[in-house]
Amino acid sequence: MMYGEEKSDSLIVAAKQANNPKGAESVERRSGAKGNAEQPHMRRTQSRESMSQRLSRVREAAKQRKKERFTALFHLLTVEALEAAFLSLSRKAAAGVDGIRWMDYAGNMKNNITDLHRRLHQGSYRAQPGRRHYIPKADGKQRPLGIASLEDKIVQYALVKILNAVYENDFMGFSYGFRPGRSQHDALDALATGLVRTNVNWVLDADISQF
């Protein structure tokens, strides 16, 4: 666990560390006593790096070592990461069950984010239930939505940024859903190009039942 900016999760040491990129996040091959000895260096490195630099190291490690598993990512959930997540949220989004809107939280952002960070790393943070809301579908039925509370949105967004650095390398080129830098418009462009350039006999339009 991490308390404050300087302490990080205990590390799981990869079997072939000599081949690891400098400063890469730990991945699982075997447990090793060397992890404790290396933690002070890890803390100093983290204190000097920005969040984007840390995620770049994670992204590079994931790209080079696709079959290995990351086991120490929680230390990346820093105050800086949480602040960036908060600032990326929509200012006009509906409130969850907590009733807190973006501007309410922004009035005391520094203290609120610091307290959220403390609760996360002390294990006392608890996600709240989503507020149910319904929107009409084209067929006249209603689609249920779950609106998260503001702090849950912050944590979710920060975690997505971290996990994207790990898993984005695993997606295929034809995958467009919920990926950074891609949208439904990109998918439609790719589909249009494919229809024009290839011999297509049929197109299947499908949806998940009750989704």
The pLDDT tens digits of the residues spanning 136-151 come to 988 888 988 999 999 9
Distances (CA, A) of 188 to 14, 175, 182: 42, 12, 11
What pTM, to 2 d.p., does this model score? 0.64
Supply the pLDDT for residue 179. Answer: 81
The pLDDT of residue 110 is 97
Amino acid at 7: K
Residue linked to tokens 């070592």: 65
Would you give per-residue pLDDT tens digits along the chain (211 residues)? 343 444 443 333 333 343 444 444 544 443 333 443 444 444 444 445 677 777 777 777 777 777 777 777 888 899 999 999 999 999 999 999 999 999 999 999 999 999 999 999 999 999 999 999 999 988 888 988 999 999 999 999 999 988 888 877 777 788 888 788 888 899 889 888 888 888 888 888 887 776 5
The dihedral over CA atoms of 48, 49, 51, 56, expressed in degrees to the nearest 10, equals -170
pLDDT at position 38 is 42
* pLDDT reported for residue 171: 78
Task: Write down the pLDDT at residue 88.
Answer: 95
Cα separations (Å) of 59 from 25, 73, 152? 9, 12, 24
The per-residue pLDDT for 207 is 74
Query: What is the per-residue pLDDT for 200?
Result: 82
What is the structure's pLDDT at 35? 41
Residue 169 CA to residue 66 CA, distance in Å, equals 8
The pLDDT value given to residue 184: 86
162 CA to centre of own chain:
4
Q: How far is Cα 32 from Cα 13, in angstroms, rounded to an integer? A: 6
pLDDT reported for residue 92: 94
User: Do residues 40 and 82 make contact, with C-beta atoms less than 8 angstroms apart?
Assistant: no
Question: If you ran DSSP here, which 8-state letter would residue 97 be given?
Answer: T
